[in-house]
Structure 1
Amino acid sequence: MKRQYQNRTEDSLQSDEPTLDISSLIDVCFLLLIYFLVTTTIQPREQDLSTNIPEPRAHNPIAIQPMVIEIRQSGEVVVNPGESAEVFESDVTSRRLPQLHGRLQMLSGIARADTPKVMLKVHNEVQQQRYIDVVNCLAGAGIKDIALVD
C-alpha cells in the first residue's frame, strides 16, 4: 500500500491529532471475555436440581409388622418364633439359606415404600458363622434396618 502525501497547510496541521491504535486492546478484551466464560461455573436452576418427591400414600396403608428371625442353639433358623413358628433352615451345614432369602425378598417386595424391619434373636451359643450367614442373607435382600433382641 502506497501512502500519498498531501500538501500540509495550516488547517491540516491543526486537525492532525495523535491517534491510538486499539486493535490489540480489543484482542485482549476478547481473550479476557473468553477466559471468564470458560472458567465460570453456571449455577443450576431449581428445576434442574434432582429432588425426590415422596409419592402419595394410600388412605389405609398396610402396617407391616417387623419380622422376627431366631437363630437357635442348634443352628436352625426360625421365622416368627412362638405359636406360628416356621423352621426355615434346619440344615446347619448349608450357608446359602435359600428359603430365608426367598421370604426376605418377598418382605422387601411388599414394603417398597417403607424399609422392612427385622428383629434378630440370637441364642448365646450359636456359631458365629451361622449369624454371619443370616446377616449376609439380610443384606442380600436389601434389608438394612436390623434390631438385635433378647
Structure 2
Amino acid sequence: MRIPEIAPDEEPALNLTSMIDVVFLLLIFFMVSTTFLDPERQVDLELPRAPEAGAEAERQAEIVVNVLADGRVSIGGAMVDDEGLRTALRQAAAADPEIQVTIRGDRKTHHEHIVRVMNACGAAGLANLAVSVLEEQ
C-alpha cells in the first residue's frame, strides 16, 4: 500500500466540521432537556397525597395560588392578603373568564384557607378550579 506524499508547499489542514457538528448537537440536547423554572411552583409546599390523582392536564392559561401551612396566600411568588387575592382574581377574570385557577395548598393547612380561596374565585366569577395533590405511591 502506497502512502500519499504531502507536497512540500502544502500544509496539513485540520478539518473541524465534524467537531462543530458535535458541539451544536450537544448544545441542542442541553437546550431541549433543560427544565425551566416556574416561579409559582417554587414555593416550598408539602402537597397532600391523593389515591387517584390524575396526571397534570395539558398546559393552558392558569393562575397558581399557593396556600401556605399558616394560611398565608401567594400569587405569582408574591404574598397577598384577602383583598389582594380578590383583586388579582377579578383582574384575571376580566382578562379571561375561562382561565384555570390551580390551588396548591400545603398538606398542613386547614381546609378553611382553601375554601377561602375557592370562595374568592367564585366571587370573581372563576369556575375553572383545580387543586394540586401528589399521587399516592
TM-score, normalisation: structure 2: 0.51
Report how many residues are paired: 75
* 2:70 aligned partner: 74
* 1:132 aligned partner: 115
Pairing 1:1-40 to 2, within 5 Å after superposition: none
Identify which of 79, 83, 92 aligns with 1:87: 79
- Which one has a bigger Cα radius of gyration? 1
Q: For 1:104, give the aligned amino acid.
A: L
SS of the residue 1:118 aligns to: strand
Instruction: Provide the rounded CA distance (Å) in 1 between the counterparts of 2:115 and 2:130.
Output: 15
Q: For 1:125, give the aligned amino acid.
A: K
**Structure 2: gaps of 5 or more residues:** 1-59
SS of the residue 2:130 aligns to: strand
Residue 108 (structure 1) aligned with residue 93 (structure 2): yes
Cα-to-partner distance string for 1:75-106 (whole Å, 9 max, x where unaligned): 110113xxxx11012xxxxxxx1110001000
TM-score, normalisation: structure 1: 0.47
**Structure 1: gaps of 5 or more residues:** 1-63, 90-96
Identify which of 121, 125, 147 aligns with 2:104: 121
* 1:147 aligned partner: 130
RMSD of the alignment, in Å?
Answer: 1.8
Give the percent of matched residue pairs that are identical in Structure 1 and Structure 2.
15
Regions of 4+ moved over 3 Å:
none
* Higher normalized contact order (CA 8 Å, seq sep 6+, divided by chain length): 2
Deviation of the 1:131 alpha carbon = 1.4
Deviation of the 1:65 alpha carbon = 2.5
Q: For 1:132, give the aligned amino acid.
A: V
